[in-house]
Amino acid sequence: MKKPLQETFVVLLIALPLVYLIKVYPSLPAVIPTHFGLDGKPNGFSDKQRIIWIVLFISLLSAGSYLLIRYLPRFDPKKTSSLGSGNMQKLAVAVVALMSAVTISLLYASLHGSMSFNRLFNPLMGIFFIVAGNLMYNIKPNYFVGIRIPWTLESEDNWRATHHLGGKLWVIGGVLITVCTPFLPGKSGGYFFMACVLILALVPIMYSFVYFKKNRSSL
């Protein structure tokens, strides 16, 4: 995607929750749910004016995240992140899309009085893991994005092997989360989601450590 088109698309993504807020705000009750349990039932409430500040904060955070990821290569003293700047731009767009979708889901839940994590939030996160996994597979060593632990930062081979595994794992995990959680009842979907996230976080770290130990012992 060309830069002007990409940035126009990002602006539209950031604006979508604000437009949706303007549309639904008159229909919101005076007191709305702003926090939900794993079962989707509200367990925190606030006056509806607060949702304005929540949406504005998330929109600013989304814009800031995009700019940070988008322009990270300029702050890399060794210019290593510029090798994967294309992937970083795609990741930046994916982060904005995720945050906008989550914000719209929160507004929808506030309007209807319940949040279906299994049908809204969890599948959105699953799709994000799929996108991030595809990008992670080819991301180059850098100081800012990726599985940045001592063993991957020390060795380019370790970085490559860990991110190849992590990328495949995140895609598989993302597909499982997206496909399975909408059909799991109640809190089961939430527990399944958290178990998947834990596996996606820990397995690449453990693999990187084992790879480091194996290659160090072979020297």
Q: What is the pLDDT of residue 218?
A: 57
The CA distance from 95 to 91, in Å, is 6
Q: What is the pLDDT of residue 151?
A: 92
Q: What is the pLDDT along the chain (219 residues), one digit of tens a residue?
A: 566 787 889 999 999 999 999 999 998 888 887 777 766 677 778 888 888 998 999 999 999 988 887 776 666 655 554 445 577 788 888 999 999 998 988 888 888 777 776 778 889 999 999 999 998 877 888 777 788 899 998 888 999 999 999 999 999 999 999 999 988 887 888 899 999 999 999 999 999 999 998 887 655
Q: Report domain extents, the chain.
A: 1-115, 136-219
Q: What is the pLDDT of residue 83?
A: 44
Question: Beta partners for 44?
Answer: 35
Backbone angles phi, psi at 97, to 5 degrees: -60, -40
According to DSSP, the β-strands at 42-47 and 31-36 are antiparallel
Task: Find the length of the chain.
Answer: 219
Contact yes or no for 21/51 (Cβ under 8 A):
yes
Q: What is the pLDDT of residue 75?
A: 63
Q: 159-198 pLDDT, tens per residue?
A: 999 999 999 999 999 999 999 998 888 788 889 999 999 9
The CA distance from 103 to 56, in Å, is 10
Of 120, 91, 92, 88, nearest in space to 107 by CA = 120
176-180's contacts with Cβ under 8 Å and 24+ in sequence apart are 176/126, 177/122, 177/123, 177/125, 177/126, 177/129, 178/122, 178/123, 178/126, 178/127, 178/130, 179/126
- pTM to 2 decimals? 0.80
| Buried-exposed string 174-197: b where 16+ CB fall within 10 A, e elsewhere | bebbbebbbeeeeeebbebbeebe
Of 92, 56, 54, 58, nearest in space to 72 by CA = 92
